[in-house]
Amino acid sequence: MYKFLLVLFLLFSTLYSNEPIQPLPKIVKYDREKALLGKKLYFDPILSKDNTISCASCHNLELGGVDNLKFSFGIKGQKGIINTPTVLNSIFNFRQMWDGRTKTLAHQVQFPITNPVEMGNSFQNLIKTLKNNSYYNETFNNIYKNGITIENIGDALEEFQKTLITPSAFDDYLRGDENAITSNQKKGYELFFKKGCVSCHNGINIGGGLYAQFGLTDEEMAHNLTNQSTNDNVTKNEYNPDLGLYNITKNDFDKFYFKVPTLRNVALTYPYLHNGRIETLNETISSIAKAQLGLDLTKEETFLIEEFLKSLNGKVTIIE
Ligand code: HEC
Ligand code: HEC
């Protein structure tokens, strides 16, 4: 019961805050020199131990910032244990990662670089490799007083990621262009509000701004969806990705809490959920409505919300 009250509270507090959803800012400031260095790093497998995997291998900018796999592959064909979220617009998330374990994009990059099933590198080895590369050695030394350090690698990658924002038809609509989205999309947006999705998916990223329990109103459904993913994990790991925030705090109340994901470009970033368990957006919407709001949406409602979510697809312009 208290969970329903919590949803109601979230809903009312968002509805009565000024604007629960804001358009992407038209300009995000970034340092061009650093961003160009970050771009080079982003696409360069030199970051991985055996020179085979780049950030772009898992976060393909042509594919909505993901790879459309349930779990990505790192060095030596190793499979990950949690679905790859998009990098697009991630500068607007209040924290990074499904469990929000890190705040800044600059710090975030330290995780994939050293994760044994992703890039499998060490900072020491990476810094040595970059120092032996004349482009990186010169460029880092020109831009940063202290040259190549793990913090500066993170900083350059963060500057590049600030450019990865995707203005969409929906942003034009929010700014007053009534014709930017279709009438079905408008109906879907209305439902998105009325049904309460907006209580969690709000802000510039329509998500990315708070933690919420997966399975708030239907734990059984959420657990059925998660148990399955744990069973087919290939890597036996102490870290149970299905437990979310609990992994950081070890506080029982935090079990199954995740950062609410952004819904920008969500029509492109299948499969869905932290465990990549659901293939289609349509099924995700109806399952999430049940798991997070205790609602059985009709086919028509699910269709309309899906149409609305498609208006959040945007185009990324890669800096030259
Ligand atoms: C082998 C695949 C793989 C590679 C390589 C990889 N990532 Fe990721 N990335 C992931 C996965 C999986 C997650 C989610 C991890 C988690 O939440 O525990 C993630 C999360 C992120 C996030 C957080 C997004 C969010 O919404 O929380 C950002 C930003 C990111 N990666 C950027 C990068 C950058 C920059 C690089 C290169 C230095 C990189 N990634 C390399 C798979 C990868
Ligand atoms: C109480 C908070 C809450 C509410 C309300 C909520 N969501 Fe979510 N949503 C989440 C969380 C948390 C996740 C991530 C769950 C996971 O992966 O374990 C999520 C995931 C999603 C995803 C999958 C995103 C991805 O990248 O995998 C979609 C789509 C989605 N929600 C749409 C909706 C829609 C549509 C509604 C309204 C019918 C809604 N949500 C209501 C918290 C919420």
pLDDT digits (tens, 9 = 90+) for 154-207: 999 999 999 999 999 999 999 999 999 999 999 999 999 999 999 999 999 999
Which ligand is nearest to the Cα of residue 208, counting in written order?
1
pLDDT of residue 112: 98
Average pLDDT, the chain: 92
Percent of the chain as helix, strand, coil, to the nearest 5: 45, 5, 50
Whether residue 74 has its Cβ less than 6 Å from ligand 1: yes
263 and 201 Cβ atoms separated by less than 8 Å: yes
CATH topology of domain 2-25+166-310: Cytochrome Bc1 Complex; Chain D, domain 2 (1.10.760)
**Ligand 1 centre distance from Cα of residue 251 (Å):** 25
Cβ–ligand 1 contact at 87 (below 6 Å):
yes
d(CA 33, CA 27): 17
Average pLDDT estimate for 29-45: 98
Nearest residue by C-alpha to atom 8 in ligand 2: 288
Reported as a pLDDT band with limits 50, 70 and 90, residue 73 is very high
Please choose from 185, 191, 240, 288 the residue to mutate so as to test ligand 2's pocket, defined by most ligand atoms within 8 A of CB. 288
Q: Which residues line ligand 2 (CB under 6 A)?
A: 7, 195-197, 199-201, 212, 214, 216, 258, 260-261, 263, 266, 269, 272-274, 284-285, 288-289, 292-293, 305
Residue 79 pLDDT more than 80? yes
CA–centroid distance, residue 110 to ligand 1 (Å): 10
Query: pLDDT (tens digit, 9 = 90+) per residue, 263-317?
Result: 999 999 999 999 999 999 999 999 999 999 999 999 999 999 999 999 999 999 9
What is the pLDDT, as a whole number, of residue 15? 57
Domain ranges, ordered by start, for the chain: 2-25+166-310, 32-161
How much of the chain exceeds pLDDT 70, in percent?
91
pLDDT at 228: 47
Mutate to test the pocket of ligand 1, among 90, 108, 248 (most ligand atoms within 8 A of CB): 108
b/e per residue, 149-174, with b = 16+ CB within 10 A?
ebebbbbbbbbbbbbbbbbbbbbbbb
Q: Is the pLDDT of residue 16 over 90?
A: no
pLDDT at 4: 63
The reported pLDDT for the residue numbered 231 is 45
Per residue in 221-257, pLDDT (tens digit) is: 777 777 544 444 434 446 789 899 999 999 989 989 9
106 lines ligand 1 (CB under 6 A): no
Q: Which residue has the tokens 């309460």?
A: 196
pTM tops 0.85, yes or no: yes
Buried/exposed 65-102: b ≥16 CB within 10 Å, e otherwise: bbbeebbbbbbeebebbbbbbbbbbbbbbebbbbbbeb
Residues tagged active-site: 118
Is residue 98 in contact with ligand 1, taking CB distance under 6 Å?
yes
**Which architecture does CATH list for 32-161?**
Orthogonal Bundle (1.10)
Tell me the average pLDDT across 33-55.
98
- Does the beta carbon of 164 sit less than 6 angstroms from any atom of ligand 1? no
Six token digits for residue 248: 């950081």
Q: For the chain, what percent of residues have pLDDT higher than 90? A: 84
What's the gap in Å between 179 CA and the centre of ligand 2? 27
* Top-confidence residue, 79 or 13: 79
Taking residues 101-112, what's their average pLDDT?
97
Asked whether this chain's domains 2-25+166-310 and 32-161 adopt the same fold, the reply is yes
The pLDDT of residue 234:
38
CA-to-CA distance for 185 and 203, rounded, in angstroms? 19
Q: How far is the CA of 4 from the centre of ligand 1 (A)?
A: 33
In this model, does residue 215 exceed pLDDT 60? yes
Say yes or no to pLDDT of 213 above 90: yes
Q: What is the pLDDT of residues 55-66, one digit of tens each?
A: 999 999 999 999
